């Protein structure tokens, strides 16, 4: 049986402008791989209402799970929660459970729970809160979409909260072999190997070092015995 599938939606002008380097995709991919959920697509959109709504609808319909990052803070350009609500035709407003979490947090800090901070308690009707042990402001889950903060430490904490609730499959196993030959030389035998192991993913990742060409060949699959067999064949093909 095929593994469940997932997509990630990264939201924010700062990512597309190059001002911020996204670290969340790398973390999410690793975590999903460990529980047997295949990350099939990552899409990046600007802080644009129509773009966010359209992407959420498309990804939600196309994959078992969607995880978003970014745009749920207190400022005017944090529009993700409203867009998710619109994508699911759900009403959104400050919700009592989220408000109580944030009120208690700011009371402990002796900081005013002002109107801007209250924006982080706006949750669509029917959504379930995602715990945020780092900065308290919750994410939320509605349908198959899990809405998380963009700050890496908070995103990682929210992923840890959500992962146990997801249905996983077979963890993806991988082995790598470095071959000190150019891709043009190894492409034919690799194609034959891939045809003999259609259940595995066989990727070639070229490099150039000290004027010579080579490639790292990565074999991935959920059946350890098949991965071993393919790697044994690969090693024999390019014995050095």
CATH architecture for the domain at 173-237? 2-Layer Sandwich (3.30)
> pTM of this prediction?
0.86
Would you say 97 and 129 are in contact if contact means Cβ atoms under 8 Å apart?
A: yes
Q: What is the tens place of the pLDDT at every residue in 48-84?
A: 999 999 999 999 999 999 999 999 999 999 999 999 9
pLDDT at 172: 86
Query: What are the tens digits of pLDDT across the range 185-199?
Result: 999 999 999 999 999
| DSSP secondary structure of the chain | -PPPEEEEEEE-HHHHTTSS---HHHHHHHHHHHTT-EEEEEEEE-S-HHHHHHHHHHHHHHSSEEEEES--SSSTT--HHHHHHHHTT--EEE-HHHHHHHHHHHHHHT----HHHHGGGEEETT-EEEP-TTT---EEEETTEEEE-SSHHHHHHHHHHHGGGS---PPPEEEEEEE-S-HHHHHHHHHHHHHH-TTSEEEEEEEEETTEEEEEEEEEES-HHHHHHHHHHHHHHT--
Q: Where are the domains of the chain?
A: 5-165, 173-237
* Beta-bridge partners for 208: 213
CB neighbours (10 Å) of residue 74? 15
Residue-level pLDDT at 209: 86
Q: Which CATH class is domain 5-165?
A: alpha beta
Residues of the chain falling short of pLDDT 70: 240
- Tell me the average pLDDT of the chain: 94
């Amino acid at each position: 049986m095929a593994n469940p599938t997932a997509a990630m939606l990264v939201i924010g002008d700062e990512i597309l402008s190059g001002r911020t380097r996204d670290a969340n995709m790398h973390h999410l991919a690793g975590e999903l791989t460990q529980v047997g959920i295949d990350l099939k697509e990552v899409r990046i959109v600007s802080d644009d209402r129509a773009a966010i709504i359209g992407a959420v609808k498309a990804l939600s319909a196309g994959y078992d799970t969607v995880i978003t990052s970014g745009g749920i803070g207190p400022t005017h350009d944090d529009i993700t929660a409203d867009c998710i609500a619109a994508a699911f035709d759900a009403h959104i407003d400050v919700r009592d459970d989220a408000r109580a979490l944030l009120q208690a947090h700011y009371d402990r800090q002796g900081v005013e729970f002002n109107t801007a901070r209250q924006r982080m308690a706006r949750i669509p009707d029917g959504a379930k809160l995602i715990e945020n042990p780092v900065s308290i402001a919750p994410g939320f889950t509605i349908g198959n979409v899990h809405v998380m903060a963009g700050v890496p430490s908070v995103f990682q904490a929210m992923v840890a909260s959500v992962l146990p609730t997801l249905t996983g499959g077979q963890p993806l196993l991988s082995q790598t072999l470095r071959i000190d030959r150019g891709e043009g030389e190894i492409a034919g035998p690799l194609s034959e190997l891939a045809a003999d192991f259609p259940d595995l993913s066989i990727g070639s990742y070229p490099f150039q070092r000290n004027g010579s060409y080579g490639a790292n060949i990565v074999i991935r699959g959920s059946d350890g015995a098949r991965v071993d067999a393919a790697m044994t064949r690969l090693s024999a093909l390019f014995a050095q």
